[in-house]
Amino acid sequence: MLPLKEKDKPIIQKLLVAGCCARCILRFCCVGVQSAYRQPEQVTLQEMQAFVLKGENEKVQDPAAAASTGEDNNSHDAAEVLEGPPCKRVKLDPGDHADPSEDEKSNLGESQVCVACLGILQDLCGTNQAVKIADTVKAQKYEFDSLVLSISLPAQLCVREHSCWLHVKKEVREKGLVLDKDDVIQVKEAFKWIMQSLVAKELGGVAVVGKSGFEVGVEFTHPETDSDCHFLAKVCPDCFKPTKNKQSVFTRMAVVKALEKISDDKFLKQYPCPPARPACSCVPQDVQCLHVSVFIAGRYNKFCRSLPQTPWLIDGERRMESSVEELIAAPILTAFRAGGFNFSSSGREDVDVRTLGNGRPFAMELQNPHRSRLSKLEMKELQETINKSSDKIRVRDLQIVTREAMGRMKEGEEEKTKSYTALVWTQRPIQKEDIGFIDEIKDLTLGQKTPLRVLHRRALAVRQRVIHSMNARYVDDHHFYLRLKTQAGTYIKEFVHGDFGRTKPNLCELLKTDTDILELDVESVDVDWPPAIPE
């Protein structure tokens, strides 16, 4: 039995005549019992008609009462609904209520598409639709524990809803009944009540819940009634401002805002109440699946002096055939079947600089991953695949992290230390003793004007950086290796060659001869994130 009350009768009658579907009528009667929506719409319609008729029959037996309450016109409406048109009298088929067969549909003379939901709570809300959604999800082979169903409705549904509400409100006011617009069940809500369990069933019992990292989006459009919203632009021009990425200014939000501003009188003058009957139902768009990003972190070594960290483009032309991020990302994208990535790291090295030691921490956002978990073993295999894919890079400590944890990589980056080894050339011939003093220098503060080579992308400034310690190892009378432990962000090349005096002090000054840097290696990046993974 439908949870309807005597006071709902006039609303039911009014909306049946207006061309609302049975489920929309339940919504306007503020029925919050989910099972009432889940039963087939045609069954609900029959029960509703019986409910109204029962009352009217009693009244017909007492014509005086009917006359005195002034309900003649209503009883007439009810009779009309119950006797015809034929579409309202679809016979009951206990096998498949939700989806009347094609034969049944073609028998319907007049359109029976609901004026309020434009068919969404009718044929577009049942087993057929659930199968279509489930098939899309299955075809894309996502791995997930639960999913959230999201629904996008045409904006004009708000206008139609408002019109139906005003239609009901008149009735309610005359009868002295109270009804709050906020108590009316939303189309979206009713759709979910019906569809969540159907989709769950089609997917073999997965949890279809209110919140999940896996979202399945169902969108409906209804081109036939798109112009329903247009009159609102004159009422509230401020509500409809063109925005860059939206195709139409008539977004749902803008329409809701305009409807809040417009007075009932004004609305009723410009829009039919109840809304006009549509010829056809909404058009379901392709089902969209989206999984929240997965974040992965690790450390990388780079053993090559001709590999940029990110694709190197000059005037749109590629300069190097690959990059650190692409070499790392390709196997990871395959393993997680992700749609895209966003790479970041704790600092970066120049194209000709190697990164040795324990490597440089990096993190990647994997967008729309079809897999979101890997076992320890799979993770190790993935690491091996990356290691074997090229001799230019290696990775370690590969692991899944949270978005929040990623922030720790960038936290206090400037205070962290980095160690380097530079191969230095000196113009003046040197002996071992000439470079011994370098080892004694501690916490040397440099003033570094933005290097010439990065001026095109960094603001001109003088930055203070500290070299904590250095160690020189003699090679021959024009070469030595210089080890440096520095504050992160120190420009090492500029410290060695002086950058035309833009870095002070510099190695040329200290050694009193021209010096240049031939090779540079990063030996360690002292950031304790991500945590090391024991082998």
| Cα 534 to Cα 6: distance, rounded to the nearest angstrom | 71
Out of 44, 323, 346, 383, point to the residue binding ligand NAG (CB under 6 A): 383
Q: Based on the residue annotation, tell me whether 182 is a catalytic residue of this protein.
A: no
| Cα 178 to Cα 218: distance, rounded to the nearest angstrom | 34
The answer to the question of residue 411 lying near ligand NAG (CB under 6 A) is: no
What is the distance of C-alpha 249 from the center of its chain? 21
Q: Of these partners, Zn ion, ligand NAG, none, which one is at the site of residue 156 (CB under 5 to 8 Å by kind)?
A: none
Write down the least CB distance from residue 365 to ligand NAG, Å. Answer: 6
Out of 222, 394, 449, 465, point to the residue binding ligand NAG (CB under 6 A): 394
> 10 Å Cβ neighbour count for 440?
8
Which residue is catalytic, options 96, 135, 238, 350? 350
Write down the least CB distance from residue 23 to Zn ion, Å. Answer: 6
- Contact set for Zn ion, span 120-139 (CB under 5 A): 121
Q: What is the three-class DSSP state of 47?
A: helix
Write down the least CB distance from residue 397 to ligand NAG, Å. Answer: 8
Which residue number, 62 or 384, has a Cβ lying nearer to ligand NAG? 384
Q: How many residues in the shown chain lie near ligand NAG by CB under 6 A? A: 14
Maximum pairwise Cα distance, the chain: 124
Which residue number, 70 or 210, has a Cβ lying nearer to ligand NAG? 70
Which residue number, 112 or 301, has a Cβ lying nearer to ligand NAG? 301
Give me the helices (H) in 84-120, please: 102-107
Q: Of these partners, Zn ion, ligand NAG, none, which one is at the site of residue 70 (CB under 5 to 8 Å by kind)?
A: ligand NAG
Write down the least CB distance from residue 308 to ligand NAG, Å. Answer: 18
Q: Which of these segments, 207-215, 216-224, 376-384, 501-509, binds ligand NAG (CB under 6 A)?
A: 376-384
| CA atoms 189, 194, 199, 204: torsion sign | positive
Report how far apart, in Å, the C-alpha atoms of 211 and of each of 121, 131, 149 are: 22, 21, 9
| Cα 112 to Cα 86: distance, rounded to the nearest angstrom | 10
The answer to the question of residue 135 lying near ligand NAG (CB under 6 A) is: no
Q: How many residues in the shown chain lie near Zn ion by CB under 5 A? A: 6
Six-digit token string for 340: 């895209």
The answer to the question of residue 346 lying near ligand NAG (CB under 6 A) is: no
**Phi and psi (nearest 5°) for 285?**
-90, 175
DSSP states along 141-180: T---SEEEEEEE--THHHHHHHHHHHHHHHHHHHTT----
| Cα 450 to Cα 457: distance, rounded to the nearest angstrom | 10
Which residue number, 75 or 426, has a Cβ lying nearer to ligand NAG? 75
| Cα 70 to Cα 356: distance, rounded to the nearest angstrom | 91
The answer to the question of residue 252 lying near ligand NAG (CB under 6 A) is: no
Out of 2, 4, 12, 24, point to the residue binding Zn ion (CB under 5 A): 24
The answer to the question of residue 73 lying near ligand NAG (CB under 6 A) is: yes
Q: Of these partners, Zn ion, ligand NAG, none, which one is at the site of residue 431 (CB under 5 to 8 Å by kind)?
A: none
**Burial class, 474, CB count within 10 angstroms (exposed 0-12 / middle 13-18 / buried 19+):** middle
The answer to the question of residue 26 lying near Zn ion (CB under 5 A) is: no
Binding residues (CB under 5 A) for Zn ion: these are 21, 24, 114, 116-117, 121
Binding residues (CB under 6 A) for ligand NAG: these are 70, 72-73, 301, 342, 344, 365, 380, 383-384, 387, 394, 396, 535
Question: Catalytic amino acids?
Answer: 350
